[in-house]
Structure 1
Amino acid sequence: MTTHTFPDRARVDALDKVRGATQYAADVAVDRMTHAMTVPSEIVKGRLVSVDVQAARAIPGVLRVLTYQDFQDVAEAVLGAVGPYSFRTYHAMLSDRLIYRGEPIALVVAETLEIAIEAAALVTATYAPDAFSPNIDAEGTEVFVPEGSISFGDFDQAFDSAAVTIEAEYNHAAQHQNPMELISTTADFRGGHLYIHEGSQSSGAIKFGVALSLGLDPERVHVMSPTVGGGFGQKNSMQQQTVLVARAAMLIGRPVKLVLPRGQIFHMATYRPVSRHRIRLGLDAAGKIVAASYDGQQQNSRAETFRGAFSETAARIYAIANYRSSEQLIRTDTQSPGFMRAPFEHPASFAFESAIDELAHAAGLDPVALRLANQAETDPVTGLPFTSRHLVECLTEGARRFGWDDRSPAIGSMQDADGLLIGYGVGVGCYKAATSPVIARLRVSADGRSRISLSGHEMGQGMRNVIVAALVARLDIDPQQLEVIIGEPDGAPQHVTAGSWGTASVVPAVEAVADEWRRKLDDLRDGRSVAGNVHQVLFRLKRPYIDAEVQVLAPGQPVAVMDRLRQSLPSAVGPQYPEFVGLSFSAHFVEVRVEPSTRRIRVSRVVSVIDCGTVMSPRTAESQVYGGVIWGIAAALREISEQDPRYGGVLNNDLADYVVPVNADIGAIDVSFVNKPDPLLNAAGVKGLGEVAMVGVAAAIANAVHHATGKRIRSLPIRIEDVL
């Protein structure tokens, strides 16, 4: 099925990574480096009465113990005040106010990390605590109803007249992403310039956010984030610690490095919040879904309006003429939640695709056949055409590769030779095909070297591979001497790289800058025939190098949006464009095996077929889907952030107790791609992949568990007691 337009290149950074040569932010060595450690609050909510730092200061090697009183002149670079460089409207350690457990109350700076840790443990505080609401079921929460819910048609009439109806509530637990790279900041203030090394999905937000917070000229703030050891939404805005470390470096006059312990990350970083989903579906006698309603609730912090946009994709998968949705944010006393891989689409697909499965069983229909019979030809929300849509092919090819037709539909009717119950399940998903404006700069030199600088961040997803693939397809440069500069605002203005818009944004820019560079070379040749590759042509024409620069907009965007990009303000758009709607699609088929007495669940195999437009880098694309499927398995069977309602905070705030899958948990994963270019979204035909790879996996697992055991699980993660 898959016919790759682009060759299966090895990862361009693979050799450096396996040799340990790749430098992450915390690896950067700076002369006269000092080390910092934060002191977390012991209460959830209230005020600091006093902070006793005397014992910590007495430790030899401690240089400074900073409290909120040392940050009185720091402004908050937030959405409502200075600029949207942080997704939070609250910044820790700027006052005596406390709003979540674990927020920092002091920052110790010392000659060594060991000294900083020892001294931090000696800092004590007295508090004036307030009553708090740790979760959405606690007393004292607030309900906020945001704008933007999607509704069309007449749900009540269609649901009341439907031949078959189902109604159910699905629950998704809080989860924390755990990238291998810990959150860190290294700040060095010298010669009136501030240099920051930080693993980030939005280095531009750091540049401008820190400048605004500290009253600096942005041109004097230099941020380097060439390689990120995993982000998954955790690192897509300016973090809580960045300004604190930068300010500490300015006060002390030496570089300061802070690497947050994983236990503190669970309390300081954003996370996937608790959510609840009430779904109602109605089916007519002909097997058409005629009515759907989606009522969603999502946990939030007190001050935020971080929306749970569950219906924005759920409403677009099936041709349902009557759809109604509502949304509530339940404000609690926690740190702000945020984006985590497939932030709304993953929990929404668990709920909606589980409900579709329930509807199929209630009607006595095959779950795949029901999905195929209700595919949307145009966007149900706007009526606009899709840029491309190959979900039918994902389903039909996935069913063929999986062997869906061999399924015995009766509950509990399939067993293997060892007596394990076998269950088959299916789930589909979609994710916005978003794009962002990009500025790309290319220099190709006569000495064989090339350098391309552009907007984007490498978080391990393979962006450098995509850039190289697109560039060498256009120009016969030497890829071994190509330098790719991303994640550095000094090289090119940086957008936040998130929402699966990285590849779909950089590839058109790479192709455009290569074409512009070729035009300049043709002008230089002036009709002369010169042999050799482009480096040799430059050499023979006695030109040391040629530079080219382009600006590429997303479809329908005005040129004025480039001003936002240059200030690293959010500038991406999608899925809705002026003339069409762009989405990527996935179909996942899952086989589970359940031990009949202990009810231990194992995912024995998964078949996933993805529609993401042109596949630019087959190797890294396949790796993205493997990762998304494994994370879907984790979400369905393992991951949960366990909260202590008495004291707030997360109890299992380490990798020993926050359970994720290991090799033994993962069976066979078969990945394939439709690999048909999207003709409208961009010239390269590329759509996003990283997030859609996860969407639908958890529902497919839950549906397979139902097929094997008869137990309909509506809360994640699925535990043994749920199927006993």
Structure 2
Amino acid sequence: MPAAPFDDRARFDARDKVTGRTAYSADVQLPNMLYAMAVPATIAKGRVVEVATADALRVPGVVRVLTAADFGKPSPPPPGARGLGAAPATPTILPDIAYRGAPIALVVAESIEAAVEGAEAVRAQYAAAAAFSSTITSPGRVHEPVEPTEAGSASTAMKRATTRVDVEYDCPAQHHNAIELLSTVAVWAGGRLTIYEAAQGAQVVKANVAKALALDPAIIDVKSIYIGGGFGQKGTPQRQAPLVARAAMLLGRPVKLVMPRGQVFHNASFRPSSRHRIRIGADPAGKMIAVEYDAEHQQSRFGQFPPEYHESQPQMYGIADYHGTAANVRIDTQGPGYMRAPFPHPASFAFEGAVDELAYKLGKDPVAFRLEHDATVDPINGNPLSSRFLNECITEGARRFGWDRRRAEPGSMVLPDGTRVGFGIGCGAYPAITSANIAKLRIAADGTTRFAVSAHEMGQGIRTVIAAALLRELDINPDRLDLQIGDTSIVPQHLTAGSWGTASVMPAIDAAAAKMKAAFAGLIAGRQVSGNMHRQLAALKRPYIEVEVTTLAPGQDPKVLDGLRNYGYALAGPEYPRFTTFSYIAHFAEVHVEPRTCRVRVPRVVSVVDCGRVISPRTAESQVRGGVIWGIGSALREETDVDARFGGWLNNDLADYVVPVNADVGEIEVAFIDRPDPLINATGAKGLGEVSMVGASGAIANAVFHATGKRIRRMPIRIEHLL
């Protein structure tokens, strides 16, 4: 039976966070600590000929300068390895320079000040390449197509179309800019390596460091207890972890590195620039019948970030004939990677714009047009969609927003001061993915409960979700609940990303609670014992009961647990053996465009979400608000600019990389359908964090068109585009 709605609860860790008791990786302070700072390459492509370290070593407090000579060859992937297991190790320090900002040395010192001064004193000689490619339009780029996504015959169906749109949309490179910088502390003691790192995948860090330094993973522990913002950037292995680990092993002392934001821009992953050409055809009745969609994105020379821009669009509107191509455009940059809603966000900006353009061309209301395209089947594989309440999201959102007040003609809604007003809608979907999980639950007579499970807390509220579910199932002390996550020394830790955290932890909670209840029933054996579970244990003179469970996603083979234990990767979905599952959202945006400056404001957004059963209403609403704010930033503010002359990023700090501030954000109303998915898990919970952003930028761009009559097909939309 589906789970009943959950009550609203305060955040589990709110008090600790606001009082400063929450400790992040950079807060780790150990005796005899050393501090490290990387030295970035000042060329975009070439080879290091010499690294002069003498001046750096003369800086008081500098202990050692590591260069490429201090690093050996990484371990090759084991025979038959697949997925993350087959991925090459993150590079350490290499003589070959693949992008501007790559580390050429690591200075280790007694203080952070000495490390910085020492890094500034390092000098290098290079053999620079004669030419390099800095953008996806530069000479020397390599266009590398991947396997297309197909359903039916789009080319045949397109011939039957009587109305068509053929449009191109551009999305820029963008950087995450979490408040917490990339931070790593490594300790080598007693033949074991312990790493404290801000990471969404502690097990991934463990596997990567083992490969990079040719170590046995069994001697490595990784702890990532709290993360100060991740959003994908801290999900993939970072280059600094093996550097810091190697320094700790060589020097026999703990080493800490907190990477400056400018170096984060140049070394960590980012959202790549992408280009989207979309052709949609409609039949005489105004029904979309064919889609041809070509996408390509920026890629490093050897990067593996796949251009999966068709992972959600085919399932949006039930269009049976779909042909999608994709390609990497390889240039001289660091590897791009996952950033909140990595593919559906830029894809929906383009696709929802194209759908809006087609609706206007047909003379149809954009809301009514979308409602005409309900879907029950995944056109790619023919699976039924286990739940799809997108039309309910659109209908409820339109009611809350007041869409009926909209005048159809673009540019027709004007305030007395001349400000032009626009209403826009943008919808989105995100795959409902789940992971296998391992959990340990221990309830003790002393009043404590300890629950260890595979998960990471990056601010999204997973601890609040876990606490809400446990406290609903078990009669335990809420104020003495210890949640242990992000620590490979306790249980294996899956990579937490892609909105699979809640959907993966809920089955583990259900299984652990059921097993614990059965253990209690066996212990009590029909006797009448009063009090909560702690008091019952005390009355029966049992110090504690501990249970361990493993859970699998629908259709998974138990062998996937090996991937969880080794690489932190044991995923399934959204295509399950008997069904396909997505989360859905509808955003409604109101924009105001000033008559003289053409400055765009977003005073109001209404977002309605289908994410299955909502476990923690408070943190869920916060997730959606954050996604909408990021959508505002992406639509109107954010772009990382490339220096085409020298490579690298020009606006590599929060002074010049413009993100939304309070003045940019108006009222954001959030609502949930809150209907459980019947198949994905017993609770019916799907993902939320990623889908919350999908479609938000599209809604804003569509509202700008309604306000001005100008269709802007690139992000960010700037004043000069509207003047």
Shorter-normalised TM-score: what interval?
over 0.9
**Shift in Å, 1:556:** 0.2
User: 2:340 and 2:77 mapped to 1: Cα distance?
Assistant: 23
Q: 1:76 to 1:637 in 2, by over 3 A?
A: farther
User: 1:254 and 1:104 mapped to 2: Cα distance?
Assistant: 22
Whether contact under 8 Å (1:86, 1:209) holds in the other structure is no
Q: Any residues of structure 2 matched to 1:370-519 within 5 Å, and which?
A: 370-519=369-518
Match of 1:27 in 2: 27
| SS of alignment partner, residue 655 of structure 1 | coil
Matched, 1:270 2:233: no
The one-letter amino acid of 1:455's match is S
**Shift in Å, 1:688:** 0.1
Whether contact under 8 Å (2:493, 2:568) holds in the other structure is no
User: 2:157 and 2:498 mapped to 1: Cα distance?
Assistant: 34
**Shift in Å, 1:156:** 2.2
Q: 1:449 to 1:93 in 2, by over 3 A?
A: closer
**Shift in Å, 1:425:** 0.3
User: 2:561 and 2:12 mapped to 1: Cα distance?
Assistant: 30
Q: Any residues of structure 2 matched to 1:623-634 within 5 Å, and which?
A: 623-634=622-633
Match of 2:70 in 1: 70
The one-letter amino acid of 1:65's match is V
Q: 1:82 to 1:321 in 2, by over 3 A?
A: closer
User: 1:331 and 1:667 mapped to 2: Cα distance?
Assistant: 39
Q: Any residues of structure 2 matched to 1:180-329 within 5 Å, and which?
A: 180-329=179-328
Q: 1:30 to 1:687 in 2, by over 3 A?
A: same
Aligned length: 720
Q: 1:36 to 1:87 in 2, by over 3 A?
A: farther
Match of 1:345 in 2: 344
Whether contact under 8 Å (2:349, 2:698) holds in the other structure is yes
Q: 1:486 to 1:570 in 2, by over 3 A?
A: same
User: 2:397 and 2:610 mapped to 1: Cα distance?
Assistant: 12
| SS of alignment partner, residue 205 of structure 1 | helix
Q: 1:84 to 1:103 in 2, by over 3 A?
A: farther
**Shift in Å, 1:93:** 4.0
User: Structure 1: which 5+ runs fail to align?
Assistant: none
Whether contact under 8 Å (1:415, 1:421) holds in the other structure is yes
User: 1:506 and 1:313 mapped to 2: Cα distance?
Assistant: 24
Match of 1:39 in 2: 39
- Per-residue CA deviations over 1:659-706 (Å, capped at 9, x if unaligned) read 000000001000000001111000011000000000000110000000
Match of 2:519 in 1: 520
Q: 1:201 to 1:121 in 2, by over 3 A?
A: same
Whether contact under 8 Å (1:136, 1:331) holds in the other structure is yes
Match of 1:581 in 2: 580
**Shift in Å, 1:574:** 1.1
Structure 2 length-normalised TM? 0.98
User: 1:154 and 1:618 mapped to 2: Cα distance?
Assistant: 42
Match of 2:359 in 1: 360
The one-letter amino acid of 1:326's match is T
- Per-residue CA deviations over 1:497-530 (Å, capped at 9, x if unaligned) read 0000000000111111011011001001111121
Select between 710-719 and 558-567 the one with higher mean Cα deviation. Answer: 558-567
Match of 1:715 in 2: 714
| SS of alignment partner, residue 346 of structure 1 | helix
User: 2:422 and 2:653 mapped to 1: Cα distance?
Assistant: 32
Match of 1:159 in 2: 158
| SS of alignment partner, residue 311 of structure 1 | coil
Whether contact under 8 Å (1:82, 1:212) holds in the other structure is no
The one-letter amino acid of 1:644's match is D
Whether contact under 8 Å (2:197, 2:224) holds in the other structure is yes
Match of 1:119 in 2: 118
User: 2:644 and 2:658 mapped to 1: Cα distance?
Assistant: 20
**Shift in Å, 1:219:** 2.7
User: 2:531 and 2:19 mapped to 1: Cα distance?
Assistant: 34
Whether contact under 8 Å (1:55, 1:123) holds in the other structure is yes
- CA RMSD in angstroms comes to 1.6
Match of 1:100 in 2: 99
User: Structure 2: which 5+ runs fail to align?
Assistant: none
User: 2:536 and 2:714 mapped to 1: Cα distance?
Assistant: 63
Q: 1:605 to 1:91 in 2, by over 3 A?
A: same
User: 2:230 and 2:150 mapped to 1: Cα distance?
Assistant: 33
Whether contact under 8 Å (1:456, 1:495) holds in the other structure is yes
- Per-residue CA deviations over 1:431-454 (Å, capped at 9, x if unaligned) read 000000000100000110010001
Q: 1:494 to 1:618 in 2, by over 3 A?
A: same
User: 2:152 and 2:303 mapped to 1: Cα distance?
Assistant: 31
Whether contact under 8 Å (1:629, 1:693) holds in the other structure is yes
Q: Any residues of structure 2 matched to 1:588-607 within 5 Å, and which?
A: 588-607=587-606
User: 1:347 and 1:208 mapped to 2: Cα distance?
Assistant: 31
Q: 1:315 to 1:623 in 2, by over 3 A?
A: same
- Per-residue CA deviations over 1:308-329 (Å, capped at 9, x if unaligned) read 1111211111121221111111
Whether contact under 8 Å (1:93, 1:105) holds in the other structure is no
**Shift in Å, 1:154:** 2.4
Match of 1:658 in 2: 657
**Shift in Å, 1:206:** 1.6
User: 2:75 and 2:493 mapped to 1: Cα distance?
Assistant: 21
- Per-residue CA deviations over 1:186-224 (Å, capped at 9, x if unaligned) read 011111111111110000112232233333332321111
**Shift in Å, 1:304:** 2.2
**Shift in Å, 1:87:** 9.9
Whether contact under 8 Å (2:92, 2:212) holds in the other structure is no
| SS of alignment partner, residue 186 of structure 2 | strand
Match of 2:608 in 1: 609
Match of 1:336 in 2: 335
- Per-residue CA deviations over 1:237-287 (Å, capped at 9, x if unaligned) read 221010010000111111100000000000000000010000001111212
Match of 1:139 in 2: 139
Identical pairs, percent:
54
| SS of alignment partner, residue 588 of structure 1 | strand
Match of 2:705 in 1: 706
Q: 1:311 to 1:24 in 2, by over 3 A?
A: same
User: 1:88 and 1:53 mapped to 2: Cα distance?
Assistant: 33
Match of 1:565 in 2: 564
Whether contact under 8 Å (1:613, 1:687) holds in the other structure is yes
Whether contact under 8 Å (2:93, 2:105) holds in the other structure is no
| SS of alignment partner, residue 42 of structure 2 | coil
Whether contact under 8 Å (1:501, 1:688) holds in the other structure is yes
**Shift in Å, 1:88:** 7.0
The one-letter amino acid of 2:358's match is L
The one-letter amino acid of 1:360's match is A
Whether contact under 8 Å (2:278, 2:291) holds in the other structure is yes
Whether contact under 8 Å (2:623, 2:688) holds in the other structure is yes
User: 1:87 and 1:15 mapped to 2: Cα distance?
Assistant: 42
Matched, 1:168 2:178: no
User: 1:201 and 1:701 mapped to 2: Cα distance?
Assistant: 30
The one-letter amino acid of 2:270's match is Y
**Shift in Å, 1:535:** 0.5
Q: 1:84 to 1:268 in 2, by over 3 A?
A: farther
Q: 1:673 to 1:423 in 2, by over 3 A?
A: same
The one-letter amino acid of 2:320's match is A
The one-letter amino acid of 2:311's match is E
Select between 525-534 and 424-433 the one with higher mean Cα deviation. Answer: 525-534
**Shift in Å, 1:158:** 2.1
